[in-house]
């Protein structure tokens, strides 16, 4: 897969792909590339106005649907309205933001990045015929799942640790979903991807002086959002992408370059924690998986 790019995406004619957070950054670039390859794309976004701009750029292959992952009522409404799709790409996320709470009281990063996508995947899984791709991050390395305080109700809030926790949860969820789908004999597969260091609107929202440095670093060191979308596109479309595998850039310690199999922190393979995260997530969201 050396040098894999958007020109290597197989023909996607007749396929439908749901992409969360496709109003900007990685999600928008993912939607554009898939539509260019022939797919119908559903831009599932909280900010429908921004998504409309992307949809107009794409053309008739794009549809906008409102989805606020920080509100499980919105997640259920979106799932009820989805008739079916070949691929679900769990792309949306927030990063290193001040302490906030979702509509159901979850810590905002865990609630949006993991719990919202967990509930969404469970609710739409019977309508997905091909793949579920969940985005994690290299920052999963700093994540440690605290099953006793997943939503930072008792711990002193640390925004970067909370982000790392949510990205570890994404990786664990994607891997656990793969195991359960395979055990059930399902034709649907679960894959995980990360963008490396890509310049997107995700950065610069911490509300601290760090934003100045992140914005400057984006301009100097980061690859483009289009390049950062390649691992997601590979996971979503390549016939060589396999169930349960984590994909990311292959150059400069996984920060940029063509997509390939990515290394990860082996804490993600802890079956007891993964199972506990799954059970806790089902309990918190009141959503069970039809597997």
Instruction: List active site positions.
Output: 163
Q: How far apart are CA 192 and CA 173, in angstroms?
A: 9
The residue written with tokens 């289009």 in the block is 226
- Mapped onto helix, strand or coil, the DSSP state of residue 99 is coil
- Mapped onto helix, strand or coil, the DSSP state of residue 252 is coil
132 burial type by CB count under 10 A (0-12 exposed, 13-18 middle, 19+ buried): buried
Furthest C-alpha separation in the chain: 50
Q: How far apart are CA 64 and CA 182, in angstroms?
A: 32
**Torsion-angle region of 19 (φ positive above 0: left; ψ -120 to 50: alpha; else: beta):** beta
Give the chain's radius of gyration (CA, Å). 17
Virtual torsion, Cα 55, 56, 62, 65, nearest 10 deg: 50
Q: SS3 sequence, 170-231?
A: HHHHHHHHHHHHHHCCCCCEEEEECCCCECCCCCCCCCCCHHHHHHHHHHHCCECHHHHCHH
HSE toward the beta carbon, residue 274, CA cutoff 13 A:
17
């Amino acid at each position: 897969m050396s040098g894999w790019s958007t020109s290597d995406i197989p023909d996607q004619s007749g396929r439908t792909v749901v992409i969360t957070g496709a109003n900007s950054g990685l999600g928008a670039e993912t939607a554009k590339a898939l539509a260019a390859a022939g797919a119908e794309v559903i831009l599932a976004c909280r900010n429908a106005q921004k998504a409309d701009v992307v949809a107009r750029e794409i053309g008739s292959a794009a549809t906008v649907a409102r989805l606020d992952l920080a509100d499980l009522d919105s997640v259920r409404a979106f799932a009820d309205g989805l008739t079916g799709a070949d691929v679900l790409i769990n792309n949306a996320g927030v990063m290193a933001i001040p302490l906030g709470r979702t509509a159901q009281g979850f810590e905002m990063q865990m609630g949006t990045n993991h719990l919202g996508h967990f509930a969404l995947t469970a609710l739409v899984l019977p309508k997905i015929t091909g793949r579920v791709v969940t985005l994690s991050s290299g920052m999963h390395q700093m994540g440690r799942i605290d099953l006793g305080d997943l939503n930072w109700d008792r711990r002193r809030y640390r925004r970067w640790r909370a982000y790392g926790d949510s990205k570890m949860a994404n990786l664990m969820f994607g891997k656990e979903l793969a195991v359960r789908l395979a055990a059930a004999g399902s034709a649907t597969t679960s894959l995980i991807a990360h963008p490396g260091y890509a310049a997107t609107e995700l950065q610069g929202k911490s509300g601290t002086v760090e934003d100045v440095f992140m914005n400057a670093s984006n301009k100097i060191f980061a690859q483009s959002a289009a390049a950062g979308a390649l691992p997601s596109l590979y996971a979503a479309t390549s016939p060589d992408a396999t169930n349960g595998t984590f994909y990311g850039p292959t150059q400069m310690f996984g920060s940029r370059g063509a997509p390939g199999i990515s290394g990860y922190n082996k804490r993600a393979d802890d079956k007891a924690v993964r199972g506990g995260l799954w059970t806790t997530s089902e309990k918190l969201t009141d959503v069970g998986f039809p597997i």
